[in-house]
Structure 1
Amino acid sequence: MKTLVASLLLTLLVAYVAAERAHEMSCTDVDMCIAPCISYLTGEQQSPAPACCDGLKKLRTLVAGTTAERRFACNCIKQAAAHLKNLKDDAVSKLPAACGTPLPFPISLEYDCSSLP
């Protein structure tokens, strides 16, 4: 019985640590990566600035870990995008390719972040 309880407690501890690690990244971290891209995403610039592409590369590094991290970042981007006016869908969808930095999820308000593997 003690072994079962100890095993259950260990399992819960591991799950808790994994959940905490997924949230080491904050939406502010994600927003800081994407912020230099706003001029491009709203059509004010024809191409993304170097700072935008650098931010996208940093974002790709942030989400390189777990599924939970990718889902978290995806939802942060959706929340930020929902507050921006005049986003150009074409620029949004082309941003990763324009920077040569593919992400493990599309940048889209319609994408279901919970479907990320």
Structure 2
Amino acid sequence: MKGVLAALLVTLQVAYVVGRPSHTMSCSEVDLCVAPCVRYLTREQKEPSEDCCKGVKRLKGMPKNTEERRFACSCVKQAAHGISGLKDDAVMKLPTACDTPLLFSISMDFDCNSIP
């Protein structure tokens, strides 16, 4: 389960935040939102599960400002490094598959600092 949680936020890959920003979110909370999506993101499932889409919707509502959106983005990228077999196409299609557009792009090379 730790591997899944660490690998949860299957989406963006590079920024690691040192220290905790002055907000109430944690990477663990972000990871829990996307944990149910791992099987879809690795293409073990053809469609995201209901729990996966609920988590994506929760993730969309968590960040309240630019700093928190960037933090959530970096958590996703950090988690993506731990997911074996992650499929870029599934990652990019996840918000659409869950009918939940996010405030930041989901891709393996997205720059979290570009989030407004």
Q: Deviations over 1:45-94 (max 9, x none)?
A: 0000000000000000102x100000000000000001111011111000
Shift of 1:108: 1.9
Report SS of the residue matched to 1:105.
coil
Provide the identity percentage: 55
**How far, CA to CA, are the matches of 1:93 and 1:108 in structure 2?**
6
**How far, CA to CA, are the matches of 1:73 and 1:100 in structure 2?**
19
Partner residue, 2:78:
79
Mapping for residues 1-117 of structure 1, pairs under 5 Å: 20=22, 22=23, 24-63=24-63, 65-117=64-116
**How far, CA to CA, are the matches of 1:90 and 1:108 in structure 2?**
9
| Alignment size in residue pairs | 96
Higher relative contact order (CA 8 A, sep 6+): 2
**How far, CA to CA, are the matches of 2:45 and 2:84 in structure 1?**
15
Bigger Rg, structure 1 or 2:
1
| Normalised TM-score (structure 1) | 0.80
**How far, CA to CA, are the matches of 2:54 and 2:109 in structure 1?**
25
Q: Identify the structure with the greater helix proportion.
A: 1
Gaps of 5+ in 2: 1-20
